Copies of this chain bind each other. A is one copy, B any other.
Amino acid sequence: MSRSINLAVIPGDGIGQEVVAEGLKVLSAVLPQDVKLETKEYDFGARRYHATGETLTDADLDALKRHDAILLGAIGDPSVPSGVLERGFLLKLRFAFDHHVNLRPSKLLPGVATPLAGQPEIDFVVVREGTEGPYTGNGGTIRKGTEHEIATEVSVNTAYGVERVVRDAFARAQARPRKKLTLVHKNNVLTFAGHLWTNVFNKVAEEYPEVTTDYIHVDAATIYLVTDPARFDVIVTDNLFGDIITDLAAAVSGGIGVAASGNINPGGEFPSMFEPVHGSAPDIAGQGKADPSATVLSVALLLRHLGYDAEADRIDAAVAADLTERSSLGARSTARIGDALAARVAG
């Protein structure tokens, strides 16, 4: 394991700035003395776009490529037309750096508020495909703006792309105590992609006899997520279904204030990127109201990805302890929560 981390930091827009500061605070506090942490900040997001019209250039990609990992706050602002920063920055980066494993753990900690009655057990991880499906930007529009307009979106699914993410999910399921993997798709309607996903899933399953598998349609998955979330251990799914169910998963397991994610290139050809699931939340930006926990948990995913498992565990434990005690702590600012977490991981 390298004893230095060369980190690209992208605070981004809105509360991104605030939560990333706390993520870095906790990262510095948790790292052993002998690990050299270097960070370089990048100004992507709405300001850069308004100033230069750029979202992410080839030169930017070259610069980012030299880092060990990327920590992102949030990108997006109402002043920028919908889609510009999403397609021009967030998705461009995921595709350019082949972030095909989009990892989103959900764990409901004791004492943490959930909209669900009866405080169910929730502890699963979604492995969302990150580089295919309807996210490829394939499709188009003809007769735009007329009453004869036709717009298409093409979901692209390859055996290559599906198999690698399915393998990643099986390996993760194998490494967890329950060893259970659920494929979520809509193979009764999207039969072309559905057959590919199902066949690849069943084929790889043969290599993991210890992993229990099942299949559920994405619509039914949303039902189980609110009526019986304990049934899930690891879920593997397509890019769009993963987008939808991970927001719901975050909502039921403590809210997007605590939902972390990793955009991972498992082979390490490109740096992986870690970010909270939440967005830039312009309505509360600059007020110290944002919960930095999701970013701090994303830092833990980042550390685990780089091989710093003990440090990642310490962050997870610190956030868990903080959340569990939160109801008795009263309102705290973004920075105070960061301070508390930094103190816990250092202690």
Question: Which residues of A pack against B, CB within 8 Å?
Answer: 82-83, 86-87, 91, 114-118, 134-135, 137-141, 143-160, 163, 186-196, 198-199, 218-220, 222-223, 225-227, 240, 243-248, 250-252, 255-256
Chain B: minimal CB distance from A335 (Å): 26
Bound complex: CA A163 to CA B87 (Å): 26
Across the interface, name the chain B residue whose C-beta is closest to A163.
Answer: B147
Q: How far is the CA of A227 from the CA of B222 in the complex (A)?
A: 14
Report the separation of the CA atoms of residues A156 and B194 in the bound assembly, to the nearest whole angstrom. Answer: 18
Other A-B contacts than A139-B154, A139-B192, A220-B247, 6 sampled, CB-CB below 8 A, are A115-B116, A143-B159, A150-B159, A152-B154, A219-B243, A223-B248
- Residues on B with C-beta less than 8 A from A138 are 152
Contact, CB under 8 Å: B159 / A147 = yes
Decide: B152 and A199 in contact? CB cutoff 8 A. no
List the B side residues contacting A156 at CB < 8 Å. Answer: 150, 152
Known A155-B153, A189-B135; judge A219-B244 contact (CB<8 A): yes
How far apart are A145's CB and chain B's nearest CB, in angstroms? Answer: 7
Bound CA span A333–B128, Å: 41
B189 touching A87, Cβ below 8 Å? yes
Given A116-B115, A191-B87, answer yes or no on A196-B141 (Cβ-Cβ < 8 Å). Answer: yes
A188 and B189 CA atoms in complex are apart in Å by 24
Q: In this complex, what residue of B is CB-closest to A156?
A: B152
Q: Do the beta carbons of B154 and A227 come within 8 Å of each other?
A: no
> Cβ of A114: which chain B residues have Cβ within 8 Å of it?
117
CB of B150 within 8 A of CB of A157, answer yes
The residue in chain B whose Cβ has the minimal distance to the Cβ of A255 is: B227
Chain B residues within 8 Å of A86, by CB: 188-189
Most buried by B among A193, A199, A244, A246: A244
Interface contact A149-B159, CB-CB below 8 Å: yes
User: Given the complex, which residues of B lie within 8 Å of A146, measured CB to CB?
Assistant: 159
What are 14 A-B residue pairs whose CB atoms fall within 8 Å in the complex?
A82-B188, A114-B117, A141-B192, A144-B195, A146-B159, A149-B196, A151-B193, A152-B154, A219-B244, A219-B247, A222-B247, A222-B251, A223-B248, A226-B252
